[in-house]
Protein backbone atom coordinates (compact mmCIF):
# COMPACT_ATOMS: atom_id res chain seq x y z
CA UNK A 1 0.00 0.00 0.00
CA UNK A 2 1.47 3.43 -0.94
CA UNK A 3 2.45 5.81 1.83
CA UNK A 4 1.23 9.42 2.22
CA UNK A 5 4.22 10.90 0.37
CA UNK A 6 3.62 8.62 -2.62
CA UNK A 7 -0.06 9.70 -2.61
CA UNK A 8 0.76 13.45 -2.54
CA UNK A 9 -0.08 15.45 -5.62
CA UNK A 10 1.99 18.50 -6.52
CA UNK A 11 1.21 21.80 -8.19
CA UNK A 12 2.78 22.11 -11.65
CA UNK A 13 3.28 18.34 -11.78
CA UNK A 14 -0.23 16.91 -11.36
CA UNK A 15 -2.27 20.10 -11.60
CA UNK A 16 -2.00 23.83 -12.03
CA UNK A 17 -4.13 26.66 -10.73
CA UNK A 18 -5.45 28.85 -13.54
CA UNK A 19 -7.63 31.99 -13.51
CA UNK A 20 -11.35 31.52 -13.95
CA UNK A 21 -13.73 33.82 -15.81
CA UNK A 22 -14.80 35.19 -12.40
CA UNK A 23 -12.16 37.71 -11.23
CA UNK A 24 -12.22 36.20 -7.72
CA UNK A 25 -12.14 32.58 -8.82
CA UNK A 26 -9.62 29.99 -9.80
CA UNK A 27 -9.88 26.77 -11.71
CA UNK A 28 -7.67 23.70 -11.58
CA UNK A 29 -6.20 22.27 -14.79
CA UNK A 30 -5.27 18.62 -14.44
CA UNK A 31 -1.97 17.67 -16.02
CA UNK A 32 -1.45 13.92 -15.64
CA UNK A 33 -4.33 11.64 -14.67
CA UNK A 34 -7.04 13.50 -16.64
CA UNK A 35 -4.89 15.72 -18.90
CA UNK A 36 -6.32 19.06 -20.01
CA UNK A 37 -9.44 18.63 -17.89
CA UNK A 38 -10.28 21.84 -16.06
CA UNK A 39 -12.38 21.74 -12.90
CA UNK A 40 -13.88 24.33 -10.61
CA UNK A 41 -14.59 23.84 -6.93
CA UNK A 42 -17.81 25.10 -5.40
CA UNK A 43 -18.63 24.84 -1.72
CA UNK A 44 -15.99 23.23 0.48
CA UNK A 45 -16.94 22.30 4.04
CA UNK A 46 -14.90 21.00 6.94
CA UNK A 47 -17.32 18.97 9.00
CA UNK A 48 -16.25 17.80 12.45
CA UNK A 49 -17.66 14.68 14.00
CA UNK A 50 -17.47 14.35 17.77
CA UNK A 51 -14.46 12.29 18.87
CA UNK A 52 -13.30 11.84 15.27
CA UNK A 53 -11.14 13.84 12.88
CA UNK A 54 -14.08 14.86 10.71
CA UNK A 55 -14.08 15.12 6.94
CA UNK A 56 -14.07 17.51 4.02
CA UNK A 57 -17.08 17.65 1.76
CA UNK A 58 -17.01 19.52 -1.53
CA UNK A 59 -18.68 19.95 -4.84
CA UNK A 60 -17.04 20.63 -8.15
CA UNK A 61 -17.86 20.98 -11.81
CA UNK A 62 -16.05 20.18 -15.02
CA UNK A 63 -15.28 23.43 -16.84
CA UNK A 64 -13.81 21.64 -19.87
CA UNK A 65 -12.43 18.23 -20.76
CA UNK A 66 -11.26 16.44 -23.89
CA UNK A 67 -12.94 13.25 -22.57
CA UNK A 68 -16.61 13.28 -23.62
CA UNK A 69 -17.40 10.41 -21.21
CA UNK A 70 -15.96 12.04 -18.07
CA UNK A 71 -18.55 13.21 -15.55
CA UNK A 72 -18.59 14.42 -11.95
CA UNK A 73 -20.46 11.20 -11.11
CA UNK A 74 -17.35 9.08 -11.87
CA UNK A 75 -16.21 7.81 -8.44
CA UNK A 76 -12.57 7.36 -9.49
CA UNK A 77 -12.54 10.92 -10.80
CA UNK A 78 -14.18 12.18 -7.58
CA UNK A 79 -11.46 10.50 -5.51
CA UNK A 80 -8.72 12.06 -7.65
CA UNK A 81 -10.32 15.50 -7.42
CA UNK A 82 -10.47 15.03 -3.63
CA UNK A 83 -6.72 14.38 -3.60
CA UNK A 84 -6.17 17.54 -5.68
CA UNK A 85 -8.29 19.55 -3.22
CA UNK A 86 -6.33 18.15 -0.27
CA UNK A 87 -3.05 19.17 -1.91
CA UNK A 88 -4.33 22.68 -2.66
CA UNK A 89 -5.60 23.15 0.91
CA UNK A 90 -2.42 21.78 2.46
CA UNK A 91 -0.30 24.16 0.36
CA UNK A 92 -2.52 27.14 1.24
CA UNK A 93 -2.25 26.34 4.95
CA UNK A 94 1.52 25.87 4.73
CA UNK A 95 1.97 29.14 2.82
CA UNK A 96 -0.50 31.05 5.00
CA UNK A 97 -2.71 31.98 2.05
CA UNK A 98 -5.89 30.18 3.10
CA UNK A 99 -8.98 32.18 3.99
CA UNK A 100 -11.97 30.39 5.50
CA UNK A 101 -15.29 31.42 7.04
CA UNK A 102 -16.90 29.78 10.06
CA UNK A 103 -20.52 29.20 9.02
CA UNK A 104 -21.77 29.31 12.60
CA UNK A 105 -20.11 32.59 13.64
CA UNK A 106 -19.33 34.12 10.21
CA UNK A 107 -15.82 34.77 11.52
CA UNK A 108 -13.14 35.00 8.83
CA UNK A 109 -10.21 32.70 9.58
CA UNK A 110 -6.95 33.84 8.01
CA UNK A 111 -3.50 35.18 8.80
CA UNK A 112 -3.22 38.88 9.68
CA UNK A 113 -1.59 39.59 6.30
CA UNK A 114 -4.40 37.84 4.43
CA UNK A 115 -7.03 39.74 6.44
CA UNK A 116 -5.30 43.04 5.62
CA UNK A 117 -5.18 42.12 1.92
CA UNK A 118 -8.86 41.13 1.99
CA UNK A 119 -9.79 44.40 3.70
CA UNK A 120 -7.70 46.43 1.21
CA UNK A 121 -9.32 44.62 -1.73
CA UNK A 122 -12.77 45.30 -0.31
CA UNK A 123 -11.95 48.98 0.21
CA UNK A 124 -10.53 49.42 -3.29
CA UNK A 125 -13.60 47.72 -4.77
CA UNK A 126 -15.88 50.09 -2.87
CA UNK A 127 -13.98 53.16 -4.12
CA UNK A 128 -15.20 52.60 -7.67
CA UNK A 129 -18.87 52.62 -6.65
CA UNK A 130 -20.71 55.88 -7.04
CA UNK A 131 -23.94 56.66 -5.26
CA UNK A 132 -26.83 57.92 -7.38
CA UNK A 133 -27.52 61.63 -6.98
CA UNK A 134 -30.90 63.19 -6.32
CA UNK A 135 -30.64 65.71 -9.17
DSSP 62-107: EEE-S-TT--TT-HHHHHHHHHHHHHHHHHHHHHT---EE-TTT--
Name the residue range of residue 114's domain: 99-129
Do 67 and 103 sit in the same domain of this protein? Answer: no
Helix (H) or strand (E) holding 108: strand 108-109
**pLDDT (tens digit per residue) in 44-89:** 887 766 666 677 788 999 999 999 999 999 999 999 999 999 888 8
Residues 74 and 17 in one domain: yes
Whether 23 is covered by a domain: the verdict is yes
- Same domain for 14 and 69, yes or no, is yes
Query: In this structure, are 86 and 51 located in the same domain?
Result: yes
Is the pTM value of this prediction over 0.75? no
Res 125: pLDDT: 55
Please give the C-alpha separations between residue 116 and each of 23, 69, 97, 122, in angstroms, as whole numbers.
19, 44, 12, 10
Residue 109 has pLDDT above 70, yes or no: no
Q: Same domain, yes or no, for 55 and 110? A: no
9, part of any domain:
yes
Number of domains comprising the chain: 2
Residue 134 is assigned to a structural domain of this protein: no
Residue at 103 is within a domain? yes
CA distances from 90 to 44, 98, 102, 110 (A): 14, 9, 18, 14
Mean pLDDT (the chain) is 77
Q: How confident is the model at residue 16 (pLDDT cuts 50, 70, 90)?
A: very high
Looking at residue 119, its pLDDT comes to 60
Q: Are residues 66 and 109 in the same domain?
A: no
Amino acid sequence: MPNDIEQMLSENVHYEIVPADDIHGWNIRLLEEYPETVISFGTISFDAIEEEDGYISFNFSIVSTPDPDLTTEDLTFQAYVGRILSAVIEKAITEGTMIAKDNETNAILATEDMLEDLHAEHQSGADGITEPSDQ
